[in-house]
Structure 1
Amino acid sequence: MIPLIKAFFDSATWTISYVVFDEPKGSCAIIDPVLDYEPKSSRTSTRSADKLIEFVNQQQLSVVWILETHAHADHLSSADYLKNKLGGKTAIGNNIPIVQKTFKAIFNMGEEFVTDGHDFDHLFADGELFQVGKLTAKAISVSGHTPADMAYQFGNAIFVGDTLFMPDIGTARADFPGGNACQLFRSIQKLLAFPPETRLLMCHDYPPANRSAEWESTVAQQLAHNIHVHHGIKEDEFVTMRNKRDVTLEMPNLLLPSIQVNIRAGKLPPVEKNGVAYFKIPINLI
């Protein structure tokens, strides 16, 4: 069954969130939703998430899943807010405990934060099938950018997270804690082994000045034109390029706050005795 897809582009973080559904008045999954965050004031808002809610309600959809492709480092997730408003199960790849353990140490999080993935309702294994109404979906492990990256296939469409970008932008970085350029290359090859006409939907686009934001390509287009992994690129070439390039990249603006939310499935840090929640910022560590 061909999925119906509605994309929502957030220009503040260059993120694309999706509602994937079988039919109007049917069932849907929400993928990579954004919680708006103003870093200067450290205030959150739900403007982007409310657009998803409005669409879901207009289409009279029942939310079955709220899917994260990985623990994002460039935007905060609104998964918990959406779950409370619309229902559905939050889910991510089953390697998320590795990411949680890494960042628990970096942020010196307390014993109350248990790194077993239980903050999410479900942890997907590679190749696991699941239902969204009449749609049968498949989770595909695409580790490399982080250990827990997961792509989601719905019929002829695959939501690739940060693994791939549009062909003129290339591929994800692999220098975050637990990232691995060799594994990233092999994960990309899994995606590019699908039929040429397979639709690949991005989580981000960082467009050059000569075009507006885009978020959909095909396997054929990636193989022909991706500046990092087109036809003929070998693993050692890619790894050399990726490692050399990654050391020149700045950390994402929202890395420190976003990770603290996203490894908790979109929940903010616990409120302290004074009724306020706080982000922790390590000094001279990252």
Structure 2
Amino acid sequence: MRRLRRTLTLLLALALAAGAVYAVTTVLQRSETLVTERCTAVVGTASFELATDQAANAALITSVAVRRGLPPRAATIALATAMQESRLRNIDYGDQAGPDSRGLFQQRPSQGWGTEAQVMDPVYASNAFYDGLVKVPGYQSMEITEAAQTVQRSAFPRAYAQHEAMGRAFASSLTGQSSAALDCTLRSADAAGDPATVVDAMTTAFGPVAAKSQGRTVLIDSGAYSTGAAAWALAQWAVANAKTLSVTQVQLDGHTWNRDDHKGWQESAAPAGTLSITVSAPRS
């Protein structure tokens, strides 16, 4: 009888333990599904949110400005323009500009912006916009609406102004003028990341970067993108692209962004002069 009681007690304890594990797992899974994925840029006391795909496009547009050595104001104008024209989405159908408008800036092949394939390429489209912008005398001191309208020739020129504050906030962080200012709240990565894919993506955005891989981490510890504003531009680009690239951690200059803690950039022991971008491991 005692042996039977001990056996029953053990079975009950195992059942309770299994139930507890199941309950905790269920809560964690549900909490993951409740996470609202978004990216936020903060400047001063103001914060602005974009969906993750919009933030990734904002990062690409801004990285092209950084690569070209343009001032942050150029990126602000470009982001406000793209938000008005396409909601920062690479759409393949006409919008306000006309039935043949395409891409982030709704550029029209019929008006000499390039072929449909070209204006649907975000890098080409961004460069095309900046090519037009830098030809505008004094664009840096112009109102957003005036500078954007000179390039775009929109039917609604005053509409660009409503996106100026958003454009300034994301341009400030994504050009590296504001450090640790862009955060993305994301669910856990669904798939393993690939350091080589991260390097390819950053090269497409910024041009050649002195990057090397150590396991699942990409290190930039030399060259223009290892220190200063350029390093912060690249670091916050990585955060903006963390969803598609399965980035789990970014570290730079005493700050760490960790995907899973949902706390944004935190002070840490990350060394100055080294940017590290870590991607998720395969699930067992």
Q: TM-score range by the shorter chain?
A: under 0.3
- Kindly indicate which of the two structures has a greater share of residues assigned to helix: 2
- Kindly indicate which of the two structures has a greater share of residues assigned to strand: 1
Rg bigger for which structure? 2
